[in-house]
Structure 1
Amino acid sequence: MPASARPLPPALIPNSAARRGPVSPAPPMACDAHLHIYDPAHPAAGPTPENAGVEQYRRLQALLGLSRAVIVQPRPYGTDNTVTLRAIAQLGPARTRGIAVVDSDIGDAALQALHEGGIRGIRFSFHAPNTKAGGFEAVERLARRIAPLGWHVQLHWTADQIARQRDLLERLPVAMVFDHLGRLPPADGMAHPAFGIVRALLESGRAWLKLSGAYLNTRHGVRGGYHDTDAVARAWIESAPGQLVWGSDWPHVTEPVDKPDDTELFDLLSRWCGTQALQRQILVDNPARLYGFAAD
């Protein structure tokens, strides 16, 4: 049995069903561009998962061979980015970035402080109702505020929302990053109008997309090997390989009972890419450009 496939002790990785290392090892400086960190001691507006802190995530990093990380502000903390900023510092600011959620009237000094703490974008998660992130009317206004910092907006929207907000997206003055394969409905896939909108933005170089959250975009699920995500993922790769990044979405808060296997999710990228060169581009080169990682 190859070393990468050796079984691991049960529960070695909290909030994950992973029990082995990846089939295709991660290249040096590989980046997990989407994860969340929680601190049970920090006040939150809603329930938070257990064993989802920095030390637990380090174990997943080591298992998958990842070096860089992008921490996305969790919903229960609203616009209090303390936990995210602390996690950036703990994981190492040279190899870690963050995506914040901010108040619509945030001041310039507060934005600068977030930048110095490693924040490189703000998130609007409207896939489910989220009063903490403002509304669509706040997106362009805040985008203009963060433009001088070189940040981007990260968008977790439904495909229908993307289609309805086409005009807004086309006039944004900053780059945009679409979460979780664009959230195209599995029944529609590339036939949904959002696919063409996002593809055009990717091909123009104004947008990026995360090859993440396969378990959010499947009808077949883990037992089906997520094979119904292959066509969409490969379509994104064929359209704009230089505008894609990969993320684990650990600790998988949308799946409170049956946690995904993070190794399987990582191995999907190898299946979608087909070549190690393309896999390296998505894991190393693209996130370095998007998030401003220096040569290490």
Structure 2
Amino acid sequence: MRERAPGFAVPAGATDTHMHIYDGGVPSAPGGPPLPGNFREDQYREMQQRLGLSRVIVVQPNAYQDDNRVTLAAIRALGAGAKGVGVVKPGVSEADIAWLTEGGIIAQRIFQLPWGAVGFDGMHDVMSRVHPAGWHANIQLDGRELPQWEDTIKKLPGNFVIDHVGKYIEPVTPEHESFKALLRLLDTGRCWVKLSAPYETSKTGAPNYEDVSRLARALAKHAPERMLWASNWPHPSAARDNTPDEADLMDLLLDWAPDEATRKKVLVDNPAKLYNFR
């Protein structure tokens, strides 16, 4: 069991904006990848407490596609400081949206990569249905494709979130046109970015992930009021014998957002505003 705490004082109300729960008793859905294992709420709580986190956003895993039962159960189990990102398909009924909203779902996952349940082809139909319920879009894609999707994303109603420092597969320079596209999305005032999971795309690797870190620093400087942090626990894409220590991932904020006031925005104020925590 890992025991190290982060290397800075984590402010009260800190939020993990992206993690997953997997119930080994619930098989993966057709179209989804296999479960990475059995990763339950009690295991997450141990990590949450070690890092000094108070609030959490449970993100629907691709393994379960649009079967949101495990995510809804996790929100209930994790309590008052938990909300979720779910998945519904085009044509979803108002009754289903209301049921999911009552269960704590506040966003729709859009996954424009293999195994995704809903990508950009179904995004506008779904968002036109769930936005009136207060949901926003949570988008994951290869950031190198942002120039071709920029106008499509800008047409979304309300706020939208881009995962994992833009998830450039592989990392680009801050001068690259695809990174400039992300900055333009931030300039709409409706875009939020998760500073998370650098290990998924970095070529330079741990501990500093410098090729991703230079992008994270640029994002935090450009729009500190719309940056978020996430653990990506239990790191479903990482080898089981080589998962990162979440304290190390949180400590990257000392580089990405070096002043205490900005870290408080990233960890507390920004997610409280986006996810309506009180």
Sort the TM-score into its range (normalised by shorter chain). over 0.9
Matched, 1:184 2:184: no
The one-letter code matched in structure 1 to 2:20 is H
1:82-133 CA distance string (max 9 Å, x none)? 00001001111x3111001112111001001111111110011123343x22
Q: Tell whether the 8 Å contact from 1:25 to 1:64 is kept in structure 2 after alignment.
A: no
Does residue 8 of structure 2 align to residue 37 of structure 1? no
Residues of 2 paired with 1:59 and 1:181: CA distance?
26
Alignment partner of 1:83 out of 57, 70, 86:
70
Q: Any residues of structure 2 matched to 1:26-175 within 5 Å, and which?
A: 26-45=10-29, 46-92=33-79, 94-130=80-116, 132-133=117-118, 135-175=119-159
Secondary structure of the structure 1 residue equivalent to 2:252: helix
Looking at structure 1, the residues matched to 151 and 37 of structure 2 have their Cα atoms a distance apart, in angstroms, of 40
Residue 270 of structure 1, CA deviation: 2.0
Structure 1, gaps ≥5 residues long:
1-11, 13-17
**What does residue 218 of structure 1 align with?**
202
Q: Distance in 1 between matches of 2:87 and 2:68?
A: 7
Aligned to 2:9: 25
In the alignment, is the contact (CA less than 8 A) between 1:214 and 1:229 conserved in 2? yes
For residues 153-179 of structure 1, the C-alpha deviation after alignment (integer angstroms, 9 at most, x for no partner) is 011011233221122112111211000
Amino acid at match of 1:142: V
Alignment correspondent of 1:8:
none
Q: In the alignment, is the contact (CA less than 8 A) between 1:32 and 1:66 conserved in 2?
A: yes
1:162-217 per-position Cα deviation (integer Å, ceiling 9, x unaligned) = 22112211211121100000012455222332222221221221110000011123
Q: Specify the alignment match of 1:288 in structure 2.
A: 272
State the identity %. Answer: 38
CA distance in 2, matches of 1:239, 1:138: 30
> Given the two structures, how large is their TM-score scaled by the length of structure 2?
0.94
Number of aligned positions between the proteins: 274
CA distance in 1, matches of 2:124, 2:68: 21
Contact kept in structure 2, 1:186 and 1:228, CA below 8 Å = no
Change (3 A) 1:124 1:43: same
Measured in 2, the distance between the counterparts of 1:81 and 1:236 equals: 32
Counterpart CA distance in 2 for 1:26 and 1:95 is 16
Decide whether the 8 Å contact of 2:163 with 2:193 is kept in 1. Answer: yes
Distance 1:250 1:211 in 2: 14
Residue deviations 1:31-64 (CA, integer Å, cap 9, x gap):
0000000111113234223341100000000110
Select the residue among 162, 165, 182 that pairs with 1:198: 182
| CA deviation string 1:191-250 (max 9, x = no partner) | 33222222122122111000001112311212x532332211110011101111100000
**More divergent stretch after superposition (251-260 vs 54-63):** 251-260
2:17/2:228 contact within 8 Å kept: yes
Amino acid at match of 1:248: S
Task: Find the aligned partners of 2:35 and 2:9 in 1 and give their Cα distance.
Answer: 31
Give, in whole Å, the separation in 1 of the partners of 2:211 and 2:249: 14
